[in-house]
Copies of this chain bind each other. A is one copy, B any other.
Amino acid sequence: MLETAVISIDHSSGVPLYRQIVDQVLLAVSTGRLKPGSRLQTVRQLAIDAQINPNTVSRAYRELDIRGFVRTRRGTGTFIVGDKGVARDEARHREAVEQFCNQVLADAGRLGLSLSELVASLQDRLTERR
């Protein structure tokens, strides 16, 4: 039971749930947060945690399996595959940052927060950190 809760679902983002799962696992792999052999949450557990249907989780895991990033075994669980995990993929990582920022901006826009004040606030935290 070493699996960490890497996956969190945003029900209001508009992004398909199964896709949020896939994306987050891929990202976690590319950042090294999930290493080969790491065990994902069980289908049922993630379904409970994220308050979604087990079928939806299963679908996401199956897609990851097909794409070769995880290996799934009935009765056992779903695990990150050994050497598919290629050392941190820089391109993918940059893409992830881009997408994440896009989402942040969209959310901010909805809340009426401006880009400049976000940057300012985040920057403060950068300098604060020692």
- Residue positions of A touching B, CB distance < 8 A: 6, 8, 10, 13-16, 19-20, 22-33, 96-102, 104-119, 121-123, 125-126, 129
Contacts and interface: CB of A to CB of B under 8 A. Distances in A.
A18 to B, nearest CB: 10
Given A15-B13, A15-B15, A19-B14, A113 B126 contact: no
A119 B123 contact: yes
Given A122-B115, A123-B119, A110 B8 contact: yes
Contacts of A97: 113, 117-118, 121
Please tell me how many copies of the chain the complex holds.
2
A99 B28 contact: no
A74 B116 CA distance: 34
A114 B30 contact: yes
B111 A118 contact: no
A101 to B, nearest CB: 5
A83 to B, nearest CB: 14
A113 B125 contact: no
Contacts of A122: 101, 104-105, 115, 118-119, 122
B113 A100 contact: yes
Contacts of A6: 110
A101 B125 contact: yes
